[in-house]
Amino acid sequence: MSGATRHDEAQAAGPPARGRHRGAPACELVTLADIEEAAARLAGVCTRTPLVPSVPDASGLQIKAESLQPIGTFKLRGAYNAIARLPHERRARGVVTHSSGNHAQAVAYTAARLGIPAVLVVPHTAPAVKVEACQRLGAEIVYVEPSLEARIETAERLASAHGFTLVPPFDDPGVIAGQGTIGLEIVRQAPDVEVVLVPVGGGGLISGVAAAVKQLLPQTKVIGVEPELAADARDSLRAGRPVGWSVEQTGRTIADALRVPRLGTLTFAHIAEYVDDIVTVGEEEIRAAMRHLALHARLVAEPAGAVAAAAHLFRRDALPAAPRQVAVLSGGNVDPELLSQVLA
């Protein structure tokens, strides 16, 4: 089935009702206590990022600027939490992961900080700016084809052969709890927030943020945002079950960090339980949001990092009518040439 056909059917279906009855598998969800423990573990490692007004007026949108983390992405929260909580002897043997770039960099940074080996399985299509950052941190890079199956198979084989611990990029309770610290901070920084907009790739970020926000502010709406050209999470939420897209389809979007072709089992369970809706944005809207963030909020966003702001700017009719909204800017690791093109 084509992406366009999926889009038409999903739009016609309308937003789903929230809750477990939508077909989520029975999984143990991350608790608020898990997220608070992660926050304590991340103290002194991750930045408590600010909420920045998106424009110098009273539009109501604030940006949670995760681009200001030490490695330029929220991924450090989940990777560090997942690795730091491992038993010392297991951690010392090293870690392996698979990632399109940002999670790989987070694992490399964490490994360098903890003094342990790290091997990163990366698709050969990953942006050079992200791969080079991993190499500077001393990690070993293994290139594979850009399919999720190739990435997972290679990472699992390396873990088995060398005794490494596999640190998944999103479908892991430690990773989800670490990402949930963003939601914890949002609630503390803006206790009157009415809508939280979150980018969706594999679902780790929105799973953690939604778990934190909904357990603290049940009436606040949590809305996922993804590209129209990689809308598998929206289709999954509408269908009540995980729906996959092909690598060829998701590879069309400029938002390289959101090209994950399907949600994980654990992330889908969190999304089905806590997320109110998922909306999509177009490629030109993503580019325009990158320009807007650079020129008005003085924040550099990679394409994936700009999708939540793009929804507020261009898809307001698909969002709840509420003046107090926060959009998560998930990362700023953009190729300099692409950024110059977008700003031009």
Same domain, 162 and 177: no
| 148 and 195, same domain (yes or no) | no
Residue-range definition of the domain harbouring residue 31: 3-73+172-343
User: Do residues 330 and 216 share a domain?
Assistant: yes
Average pLDDT for 80-84: 98
pLDDT at 6: 41
Q: What is the mean pLDDT of the chain?
A: 92
Mean pLDDT of all residues in 277-287: 98
Which pLDDT score, from 0 to 100, does residue 173 have? 98
Give catalytic status of residue 246 as yes or no.
Answer: no
Which of 109, 137, 166 is the last residue before a domain boundary? 166
Judged against a pLDDT cut of 60, whether residue 10 lies above it is answered with: no
Q: Identify whether residues 62 and 139 lie together within a single domain.
A: no
Could you tell me if 240 and 144 lie in one domain? no
Do residue 200 and residue 328 come from a single domain? yes
Q: What share of the chain in percent tops pLDDT 90?
A: 85
Looking at residue 128, what is its pLDDT? 86
Amino acid type, 52: V
Residues 57 and 95 in one domain: no
- Pick the last residue of a domain from 166, 183, 201: 166
List the single range of 42-46, 58-62, 164-168 with lowest mean pLDDT: 58-62
The active-site residue, picked from 75, 130, 214, 221, is 75
- Residue from 100, 207, 236, 330 carrying the catalytic annotation: 330
Mean pLDDT to the nearest integer, 58-80: 93
Quote the percentage of the chain above a pLDDT of 70: 91
The per-residue pLDDT for range 92-102, each reduced to its tens digit, is 999 999 997 89
Query: Does the active-site annotation cover 64?
Result: no
In tens, the pLDDT along 98-147 reads 997 899 999 999 999 999 999 999 999 888 888 999 999 999 999 999 88
Q: Which of 21-35, 188-202, 242-256 has the lowest mean pLDDT?
A: 21-35
Instruction: Give me the pLDDT at residue 108, please.
Output: 96
pLDDT at 19 over 70: no
Same domain, 226 and 237: yes
How many other CB atoms are found less than 10 A from the CB of residue 59?
14
Query: For residue 16, what pLDDT is reported?
Result: 55
Return the CATH number at 103: 3.40.50.1100
pLDDT value at 249 more than 60 = yes
Between 10 and 35, the higher pLDDT residue: 35
Q: pLDDT tier at 311 (50, 70, 90 boundaries)?
A: very high
Q: Is 211 in the same domain as 248?
A: yes
pTM recorded for the entire structure: 0.91
Confidence of residue 57 (pLDDT cuts 50, 70, 90): low
Q: How many CB atoms lie within 10 A of CB 31?
A: 15
Asked if 277 and 333 sit in the same domain, the reply is yes
Task: Decide which of 198 and 55 is more confident.
Answer: 198
Q: Give the ranges where the chain is alpha helix by DSSP (H).
A: 3-13, 32-42, 75-84, 88-92, 102-114, 128-136, 148-162, 173-189, 204-216, 232-239, 247-250, 265-274, 283-296, 303-314, 336-343
Q: Answer yes or no: do 216 and 237 share one domain.
A: yes
Of 121, 137, 166, the position where a domain reaches its end is 166
Examine the pLDDT at 3 and tell me if it is beyond 60.
no
9, pLDDT greater than 50: no
Count how many domains the chain has. Answer: 2
**Mean pLDDT along residues 46-51:** 98
Task: Give the pLDDT confidence score for residue 21 in this predicted structure.
Answer: 39
Closest CA to 91 of 111, 120, 119: 111
Residue from 330, 323, 322 nearest 276 by CA: 322
- 51 and 94 assigned to the same domain: no
Q: What are the distances in angstroms from CA 161 to CA 130, 200, 210?
A: 26, 32, 36
Does the pLDDT at position 8 exceed 50?
A: no
pLDDT, position 24: 60
Look at residue 244 and tell me whether its pLDDT is greater than 60: yes
At 101 the pLDDT is 86
Residue whose entry in the numeric block shows the structure tokens 């995980």: 242
Q: Specify the pLDDT at position 47.
A: 97
Give the C-alpha separation, 290 to 300, whole Å.
7
